[in-house]
Structure 1
Amino acid sequence: MGYRVAVVGATGAVGRELLRILAERDFPVSEVAALASARSVGQEISFGDKKVLKIQNLETFDFKGWDVALFSPGASISAVHAPRAAAAGCIVIDNTSHFRMEPGIPLVVPEVNANALKQMKRNIVANPNCSTAQMVLALKPLHDLFTIKRVVVSTYQAVSGAGKDGMDELFTQSKGSFVGDPPTVAQFTKQIAFNVIPHIDRFMDDGSTKEEWKMAVETRKILDPDIKLIATCVRVPVFIGHSESINVEFEEPVDLAKARDALRNAEGVVLRDEREDGGYVTPIECVGEDATYVSRLRIDSTVPSGLAFWCVSDNLRKGAALNAVQIAEALIALDLIPNKH
């Protein structure tokens, strides 16, 4: 007995991670379909240690009778095919930005707001932006204690957030620099190898980028509509693992010991905060890990009630694929997936 699960965008970095995590976590599947564009049809992709799936065509796939579809094909493709799957009775968990702010579609990090799944009305659940997901995990226990007033966050985001092509560009530019090849810039606005770029997604009228806007509005939808947040989102020459420097101002007086205990006991969070050389977690150390790591926790004395900390997480896992699978697990736990086979 199990669930029929379709993975949409299966050939991409997140799609492959979705298949890997489904197998790792022994998700109760009776059948898995790997879907992608027509040009990928017939290719083979691994599911677990022994099973190999053949890619099927998303355009012609019939979602009737399928229980869950995990989408990560790009926003414009989700906009077309996610409603089609939902109309066929399949619950869609979408990793793109297309549905996140739509009314009636829950935006969920299960450790933070799983109960929002009960408000699902259109058979679609949205997965938040990768940088938002790890941040709200760390913010939730602190918000419960002291009530967040304002957040200032600077992100250091890995190139895998731009997909396989972004990773390939960093690799090619890095390799080329050692043999004198001029860098070819295609996926990013400037050279990414040995550089940082303070620009992710398109610019908006107020000077923010859409990535920065997403962090603000998604945090308010997931955690609390009264939270004020400003972000500066930066692409860095790291393959996997997003990092964030976060300053939080609270309504209530801050007790550092209580904050440490709350983070230490928070589901999905690991506190590693040793005030010594190497007593913190860097992005390369979180690759392949499920947790969001918090380090460098300290009082921010520039505001009446403030904390500052460092946060890292594998953006392909908790920032994307893992969170999507955890949403599916939460839907099962809440008895919100009706078609058990």
Structure 2
Amino acid sequence: MSKLYNVAVVGATGLVGQEFLRIAMQRGFPIKALRLLASSRSAGRRVTVGEWELEVEETTSKSFAGVDVAFFSATTEVSQQLIPAAVKAGAVVIDDSAAWRMEPDVPLVVPEVNADDLDGHKGITAIPNCPTTPLVVTLWPIHRINPVKRIIVDTYQSVSGHGGQAVQELSVQARAVLDGNSASAHVFPHQIAFNLLPQVDVFLGSGYTKEEWKVINETKKIMHEPEMAVS
């Protein structure tokens, strides 16, 4: 019999947390016990996961006692604050925020590319930013045969990367526009329905946005090519 794990999901009520739970059930991840964690706003909600009906708990530094694997899909600030407590409690953490990605002793992993980087982890494994993953998966087979020296990247990103409120705003705006009405913007600075916004995140002093900076530096780290030219 395969080993079963006590699993905690931080951000369990968000889009990514819900997708993680769906895939875990679909693939039969060997879960012994499941703990759903979120902010105080979501605490007390009941969520059905497979055959379980579970109550969402507020995430605190004491939430990880007895947890083997903790999947974090929260803000960078939450990950910075609570992941050390999870690791101290004995959990292996998989984090999809930007909090730990560029730390030298934290592996930043796309399994199809650099799964070996998991060896010797110190309790935290980071997941790259969403555009980085398909980029390195595409480049890696080419790079192994003929090393890639320069990459020029354009990304077109879905509103879901901005969270559930962004998806809801897109839906509301789309209905308004199709009904011949004006669309109000709250999550995004401008109307997003039937539109493209040519900027993701804020600009840095380098002239790149934070999102672009992530793609550039995460690609270099995952592919072990610090001198690769990426723009």
What is the TM-score when the length of structure 1 is the normalising length? Answer: 0.65
1:141 aligned onto 2:141: yes
Contact 2:11 2:74 in 1 (8 A): yes
| Whole-angstrom distance in 2 between the partners of 1:206 and 1:173 | 34
Contact 2:94 2:124 in 1 (8 A): yes
| Whole-angstrom distance in 2 between the partners of 1:35 and 1:60 | 11
What does 1:251-290 align with in structure 2 at a 5 Å threshold?
none
Greater RCO, CA 8 A, separation 6+: 1
| Whole-angstrom distance in 2 between the partners of 1:128 and 1:47 | 26
Q: Once the two structures are aligned, what percentage of the paired residues are identical?
A: 44
Deviations 1:156-198 (A, max 9, x none): 1110010101111111111111233322212222211111011
Task: Structure 1: give runs of 5+ residues left out of the alignment.
Answer: 231-341
Cα 1:30–1:95, aligned 2, differ >3 Å: closer, same or farther? same
Q: Larger deviation: 75-84 or 173-182?
A: 173-182
Match of 1:271 in 2: none
Query: Aligned partner of 2:156: which letter?
Result: Y
Deviations 1:120-139 (A, max 9, x none): 12x11110001101110111
Contact 1:5 1:69 in 2 (8 A): yes
Contact 1:104 1:119 in 2 (8 A): no
Give the CA deviation at 1:60. 5.9
| Whole-angstrom distance in 2 between the partners of 1:59 and 1:225 | 37
SS at 1:142 equivalent: helix
1:32 aligned onto 2:37: no
Query: Aligned partner of 1:59: which letter?
Result: T
1:220 aligned onto 2:217: no
Deviations 1:269-327 (A, max 9, x none): xxxxxxxxxxxxxxxxxxxxxxxxxxxxxxxxxxxxxxxxxxxxxxxxxxxxxxxxxxx
Give the CA deviation at 1:61. 4.0
SS at 1:99 equivalent: coil
Match of 2:70 in 1: 69
What does 1:107-256 align with in structure 2 at a 5 Å threshold?
107-121=108-122, 123-223=123-223, 224-230=225-231
| Whole-angstrom distance in 2 between the partners of 1:194 and 1:14 | 24
| Whole-angstrom distance in 2 between the partners of 1:41 and 1:185 | 28
Deviations 1:21-42 (A, max 9, x none): 1111111111111100112112
Task: Structure 2: give runs of 5+ residues left out of the alignment.
Answer: none
1:88 aligned onto 2:83: no
Contact 2:166 2:187 in 1 (8 A): yes
Contact 2:61 2:85 in 1 (8 A): no
| Whole-angstrom distance in 2 between the partners of 1:179 and 1:62 | 47
SS at 1:40 equivalent: coil
What number of residue pairs does the alignment pair up? 228
Contact 2:136 2:219 in 1 (8 A): yes
Query: Aligned partner of 1:169: which letter?
Result: E
Q: 1:7 aligns with which of 6, 9, 21?
A: 9
Higher strand share: 1
SS at 1:199 equivalent: coil
| Whole-angstrom distance in 2 between the partners of 1:219 and 1:53 | 38
Give the CA deviation at 1:47. 1.3
| Whole-angstrom distance in 2 between the partners of 1:176 and 1:201 | 26
| Whole-angstrom distance in 2 between the partners of 1:61 and 1:46 | 24
Match of 1:253 in 2: none
What is the TM-score when the length of structure 2 is the normalising length? Answer: 0.95
SS at 2:41 equivalent: helix
Runs of 4 or more, structure 1, over 6 Å off, are none
Alignment RMSD: 1.2
